[in-house]
Amino acid sequence: MTAKIKEFPGTSLSEQDFKEGKVLFNFDKLNGIFAWDTGIGIGTYLAALKNGVILGSHCSTCRKTVVPPRTVCEWCYRPMDQYVPLKDTGTVNTFSLCYVTWDVKRIKEPLIPAVIEIDGASPLHGIMHMLGEVDPKDVKIGMRVQAVWKPAAERQGSINDILYFKPLKED
């Protein structure tokens, strides 16, 4: 059937057609302002970040410690038993060297987002954060890292209370 059709529908436009006014368009902006409750699990997590602690939660049925903490265990669907303070060190599970911002602007110095497996959480359980104080060329999967915190007085109970993770020098 595709072989029999010579001309398919669909008309291609270019950005130029907009700029030159060859097609009509309606430009509009949506107003999207939100205030999100942090909830119980993440609220407790953020309160702990304000105190300089990365918090996980533990399910004694599944013997899993997850981060960020939550109120329900996904595996057994029972309530999580307890919050557990984790260390602020971890291992780089994976990372990227990103040369574009969220709104697709080009940048020279790459951002280094990473998934960091937090010490004290179950294997492969990590959080997304940034790496800093490191030459992009030296970042490796498996690298040990430690959180760099904002000064206590400036913390707001936000994931940004951790500025980034930096390489950990272990003896």
Partner 1 sequence: MGMRKVAVVGAGMTKFVRRALETPKELSWEAAHMALQSCEMTMDDIDGVCFGTAPDTFDGVHMNGEYCSDGSGGWRKPFMRSYVGGGTGVFVPIQGWYHVASGLFDVVLVVAEEKMSSYYPHAQAAFMTIFDHTTERPLRPNLLWIFAMEMNRYMTTYGLSKEDIAQVSVLHKRNAADHPCALLGDANITLQDVLNSETLAWPVQRYDVSPVSDGAVAIVLAAEHVAKRITDKPVWIEGVGWHLDTSYWTNRDLAYPRYVEYAARMAYDMAGIKEPRKEINIAEPYDPFDYKALHHLEGLQLADRGKACELYSSGTASRTGNMPVCPSGGLLGVGNPIAAAGLMKIAELFWQLRGEAGARQVPGHPLRGLAQAWGDLMQVGTVVIMGR
Interface ranges with partner 1 (CB under 8 A): 1-5, 8-15, 23, 27-28, 30, 34, 36, 38, 42, 45-46, 66-68, 70, 74, 93-104, 110, 113-115, 124-130, 141, 158-160
* Residue 152 Cβ vs partner 1, minimum distance, rounded to whole Å: 19
Which CB, 2 or 63, lies closer to partner 1? 2
- Residue 27, both tokens: 């430009």
In contact, 132 and 165? CB cutoff 8 Å:
yes
Q: Please, which residues bridge with residue 111 across strands?
A: 98
**For residues 54 and 129, what is the distance between their CA atoms, to the nearest angstrom?**
13
Give the shortest CB-28-to-partner 1 separation in angstroms: 7
Of 57 and 167, nearer to partner 1 (C-beta) is 57
Q: Which CB, 9 or 21, lies closer to partner 1? A: 9
- Return d(Cα 43, Cα 10) in angstroms, integer: 49
Of the pair 76, 100, the CB lying nearest partner 1 is at 100
Minimal CA–CA distance to 131: which of 100, 86, 97?
Answer: 97
Reference 69, options 38, 92, 91, 90; nearest CA is 38
Identify residue 27 by its one-letter amino acid code.
F
Q: Smallest distance, Å, CB 116 to partner 1? A: 8
Q: How far apart are CB 171 and partner 1 at their closest, in Å?
A: 26
